Amino acid sequence: MVSDSELKVVVLGLGYIGLPTAAVIARTGAMVLGVDVTPSVVDTVNSGRVHIEEVDLDGLVSGVVARGSLRASTQIEPADVFVIAVPTPFAEDHAPNIGYVLQAATTIAAVLKAGDTIILESTSPVGTTEKVRDLLAQLRPDLRVPGRTGEAADVAIAYCPERVLPGRILVELIDNDRVIGGITPRCARKALAFYRRFVRGACVTTTARAAEMTKLTENAFRDVNIAFANELSLVADTMGVDVWEVIRLANRHPRVNILQPGPGVGGHCIAVDPWFLVHADPANTPLIRTARLVNDGKTDHVVAQAAALVEARPGATVACLGLAFKANIDDFRESPALKVAADLAARFGPRVAIVEPYADALPAAFDGTGATLIDIDTAIEACAIMIVLVDHDVFRSVPLEERRDKAVLDTRGIWPDQPAAAPMPTGLRLAS
Ligand code: SAJ
């Protein structure tokens, strides 16, 4: 095994996972090259700065770049370990698109040599790591790939999903357990030796297919459980019961642990990954599919509730509190809060104001609507209606005396003492 300072690692894709991963590996002393197709990302990293917001990432990246252990380029170079962390989006029909993964494998093929290890971290449909192996075999017939014949292979190929939580990425990259799936047990052991260099959590080995499905299972589990909470919130509305209280009370049972309802599920993972399972086996995934529809339907339900509240108060101004997909982060991808706020802005124009401490300007979705970005103090002074869409700490701390007279729709349950506003329309709307 080469020493930390001799190990050469290439990380392909310098996004929310790739850049923190590259920086954490560089901190161990390994020589890391981050490869990205976007020149501005490469320039930013090479100047010691970051293009994404994540707690403590800026300091870490500037340190490892200054020390010379992290560089970025649009061009790949030979290395000992290649980590693929590129996006795997899905198409309109929810078919996963592994084009970026295969493109990354093609890039690696050009510099691959005997003894190298390739690890896929991107969330991927089951079987993708084998497809990477098959592509490498085709592009590099001079190298023996694993799992095809009985003989020993020249390269190791494994799947090890990232499972870090945005906002805690640098902590969870080190502390979380890792599931390492090899094409063969030998591949898994080689990848394991790599992760042991920087992971404090347990590293458990398995097959590539089991590891791929494990990742999809984790996010589908969370989606199904959030859908349960969201469905309960609709039923509780119909019953005239406070859903937050019901969940709090039910969770006192030793074997009940219900998650929190909200305006829907956002982010680039939980709202996406369950579809990979549904697409792979539609006949056997009615529950996972329905959970997706329930969570998307909850956003439509909140739009209808909010619109009714606004329509019932002609001329009153509305503050939408939050655009991020969850609390205390600046990530607006697939955000239900943004969807609700943009929908209200399109309907009610300049009556709508947005409070988002994590934004300097309103996203493009608000262009031409006349909606404005204001701070929380201005909202408290000027807006008679408040729609709580994100549970940012700064919203949580607004005391009752500052909001007692407002008409409030609190989709996150952050103001349990708020007097009830007008009656709400109810009814579950499933997205198609
Ligand atoms: N949400 C609720 N109610 C809850 C919990 C979450 O409505 O009780 C909503 C959030 O507001 C947000 C969405 O769900 O809109 C997703 O937030 P999250 O905190 O549950 O998850 P992510 O997307 O930030 O990160 C998830 C994590 N997966 C799991 O917890 C199983 C993370 O560990 C993964 O690494 C990440 O997806 C990923 O990259 O796949």
| 312 and 204 part of one domain | no
Q: How far is CA 97 from CA 86, 123, 125, 284, 395, in A?
A: 11, 11, 9, 21, 38
Q: If DSSP codes are grouped into helix, strand and coil, which group holds residue 33?
A: strand
Phi, psi of 387 (to 5 degrees): -110, 110
Cα 356 from Cα 51, distance rounded (Å): 20
What number of other Cβ atoms are within 10 A of residue 239's Cβ?
11
- Ligand 1 center to 182 CA (angstroms): 27
How many helices (H) and strands (E) are present in the chain, helices listed first?
14, 13
pLDDT tens profile 95-146: 999 999 999 999 999 999 999 999 999 999 999 999 999 999 999 999 999 9
Q: Give the rounded percent of residues in the chain with a pLDDT score beyond 90.
A: 91
Cα 368 from Cα 152, distance rounded (Å): 62
For ligand 1, atom 40: residue with the closest CA: 269
pLDDT tens profile 323-349: 999 999 889 999 999 999 999 999 999
- Bridge partners (DSSP) listed for residue 81: 9, 117
What number of other Cβ atoms are within 10 A of residue 1's Cβ?
11
pLDDT tens profile 151-185: 789 999 999 999 999 889 999 999 999 999 999 99
| 47 and 155 part of one domain | yes
| 257 and 355 part of one domain | yes
Q: Which domain holds residue 361?
A: 239-410
| 141 and 271 part of one domain | no
Q: What is the DSSP letter of 415?
A: -
pLDDT band at 428 (very low <50, low <70, confident <90, very high): very low
| 180 and 271 part of one domain | no
pLDDT at 421: 65
How many domains are contained in the chain? 2
Q: List the structure tokens of 209.
A: 């297919």
In a domain, 263, yes or no: yes
Q: List the structure tokens of 45.
A: 């990293």
pLDDT at 152: 85
In a domain, 173, yes or no: yes
Ligand 1, atom nearest to 219 Cα: 31
Q: What is the CATH number of the domain that holds 310?
A: 3.40.50.720
Pairing status of strand 156-159 against strand 178-182: antiparallel
Ligand 1, atom nearest to 259 Cα: 8
What number of other Cβ atoms are within 10 A of residue 375's Cβ?
12
- Residues 6 or more apart whose CB falls under 8 angstroms from that of 166 comprise 16, 54, 267, 326, 329, 331
pLDDT at 425: 43
Candidate from 54, 219, 221 with most ligand 1 atoms within 8 A of CB, to mutate: 219
In a domain, 228, yes or no: no
In a domain, 47, yes or no: yes
- Bridge partners (DSSP) listed for residue 355: 321
The C-alpha angle 162, 166, 171, rounded to 5 degrees, equals 70
pLDDT band at 255 (very low <50, low <70, confident <90, very high): very high
Q: If DSSP codes are grouped into helix, strand and coil, which group holds residue 291?
A: helix
Q: Which residues contact ligand 1 via a Cβ below 6 A? A: 123, 162-166, 218-219, 222, 226, 259-260, 262, 265-267, 269-270, 325-326
In a domain, 326, yes or no: yes
Candidate from 21, 90, 162, 165 with most ligand 1 atoms within 8 A of CB, to mutate: 165
What residues are annotated to the active site?
A: 215, 269
| 154 and 272 part of one domain | no
In a domain, 175, yes or no: yes
